[in-house]
A and B are shown apart, each in its own frame.
Chain A
Amino acid sequence: MSEPAPAAPAVTDAERAELRRHGMLLTSIEELCDWGRSHSVWPLQFGLACCAIEMIAASMARFDIARFGSEVFRPSPRQADLLIVSGTVTKKMAPMVVRIWNQMPEPKYCIAMGACAISGGPFKQGYNVLKGIDRFVPVDIYVPGCPPRPEALLHGLIKLQEKIRGQRLGTPAPSECPVPEYAAHDLDPTKNPQLWQPPVLVRKEGA
């Protein structure tokens, strides 16, 4: 993604905060857009496993995701901004998840909810379990837990909103992800190396 270098702002953040304290609101198109986007994140109605039940619980009366402007669970990926990968992604399901992601319009975000979506979680030893959806789809926020409490998902959503508010306007690079195919023993390819590069883990004594 090539971002244009941000020009020096005419008003610094500190000045803006000072003005805001005096009841004067200054804004830019960028800020207005980000504000609007961050408060109307429409998730896709897409449940995979256990975490989906907690995702539904988050949208119900007790936790009420509507307070964050995200209660509009859209059944169609064409109308959704946010993909909450809520549960274990199996290798059989992975191509569908990638295809759904490709169908979503820009700007789009992805939350990996729960241990399984992040890394395969407790089921990562399984032969049919994808070890993390970030092998195929860029993930913005990881919410650990098995399953995370609904509050934890809301916390993840708040984090996502913060991230959106820091975004710069511009043409985002098209993020079409290649869809893996079923092969004789495993998916083909097993990961998208452009997206997923695990660091080499070096442990030092007493680290």
Chain B
Amino acid sequence: METTEQIRERILASLPGAQVSLVTNPGLAAQHSLLLGAAHALQAALLLRDDAALRLDFCSNVTGVDWPEREVSEADPTAPGGKVKRVVPGFLEVVYHLYSVALGHGPLVVRMRTANRSDQVTLPSLTPVWRSCEFQEREVFDLFGVVFAGHPDLRRILMWDEFKDHPMRKDYVEPDDFEWEPTPHGDVLERARRHYPAPARPAKEPAP
């Protein structure tokens, strides 16, 4: 298969003006990925599927990743202390792993990112391109809260319909049912204590 950089150029050649950037993977696996802009994602996906040299006809894996807002400190010689703190806004990411059954190559990793984690969470659905995205995008919607525009049947898939939260997000707080925790640690210990009357605590905190 062509390198990810070559594939990026191939997309740009056919879709001038599309936002496609390369996301390098610093890990040992070196599976680099393409970040598609939401506006042209559907056309780019069609191209990846139908291009004679690529023919990525098999979308194996679709998943979400939550990247909450975080603070990074960067070197800045002008600032006092030589460092400046900057807030990186959070976003939700959807990752697709594409293979080609016809040509036997892959994977190509494709990602899309939402603008933020609260109100601008719509991304185009790739279910019209690859049918296998149907349930997996529903799962990403359910657990991460990404809304897929153009999905034929976007409902919760794993949790019940009345459920309000998106439990795979990093800031999700699970419901409090720690009434009986005989072997608690850390966070669970704290939450279990709240269920015990003050004098009869389960135990004192074990030494770290």
Instruction: Indicate if A touches B (C-beta under 8 A).
Output: yes
Binding site for B on A (CB under 8 A): 92, 119, 125-128, 131-132, 182-186, 190-191, 198, 200-203
- Report yes or no: B197 in contact with A200, Cβ–Cβ below 8 A: yes
Given contacts A182-B161, A190-B175, A191-B179, 20 further A-B contacts (CB under 8 A): A92-B158, A92-B159, A92-B160, A125-B188, A127-B175, A128-B159, A131-B177, A182-B162, A183-B162, A184-B162, A184-B165, A185-B165, A186-B175, A190-B177, A198-B179, A200-B197, A201-B180, A201-B200, A202-B200, A203-B203
- The interface residues of chain A lying within 8 Å CB-to-CB of B188 are 125
Cβ of B86 under 8 Å from chain A = no
- The interface residues of chain B lying within 8 Å CB-to-CB of A203 are 202-203
| B interface, over-half SS | loop
Known: A185-B175, A186-B177, A202-B200. A128 touches B167 (CB 8 A): yes
Cβ of B70 under 8 Å from chain A = no
State the Cβ distance, A191 to closest chain B Cβ, in Å. Answer: 7
Cβ of B81 under 8 Å from chain A = no
22 residue pairs bridging A and B, Cβ less than 8 Å apart: A92-B158, A92-B159, A127-B172, A127-B174, A128-B159, A128-B167, A131-B180, A182-B162, A184-B163, A185-B163, A185-B164, A185-B175, A186-B175, A186-B177, A190-B175, A191-B179, A198-B179, A200-B196, A200-B200, A201-B180, A201-B200, A203-B203
| A interface, over-half SS | loop
Which B residues from 161 to 208 make CB contacts under 8 A with A? 161-165, 167, 172, 174-175, 177, 179-180, 182, 188, 196-197, 200, 202-203
- Report yes or no: B200 in contact with A182, Cβ–Cβ below 8 A: no
Binding site for A on B (CB under 8 A): 158-165, 167, 172, 174-175, 177, 179-180, 182, 188, 196-197, 200, 202-203
Q: Which of A125, A186, A190, A198 is close to B180, meaning CB atoms less than 8 Å apart? A: A198
- The interface residues of chain B lying within 8 Å CB-to-CB of A200 are 196-197, 200
- Report yes or no: B162 in contact with A127, Cβ–Cβ below 8 A: no
Taken together as a complex, chains A and B put the C-alpha atoms of A190 and B182 apart, in Å, by: 19
- The interface residues of chain B lying within 8 Å CB-to-CB of A183 are 162
State the Cβ distance, A133 to closest chain B Cβ, in Å. Answer: 13
Nearest 9 A/B pairs, CB to CB: A198-B180, A186-B175, A127-B174, A184-B164, A182-B160, A203-B203, A182-B162, A200-B200, A127-B167
- The interface residues of chain B lying within 8 Å CB-to-CB of A198 are 179-180
State the Cβ distance, B126 to closest chain A Cβ, in Å. Answer: 27
Taken together as a complex, chains A and B put the C-alpha atoms of A126 and B159 apart, in Å, by: 12
Taken together as a complex, chains A and B put the C-alpha atoms of A190 and B164 apart, in Å, by: 16
State the Cβ distance, B160 to closest chain A Cβ, in Å. Answer: 4
- The interface residues of chain B lying within 8 Å CB-to-CB of A131 are 177, 180
State the Cβ distance, B186 to closest chain A Cβ, in Å. Answer: 11
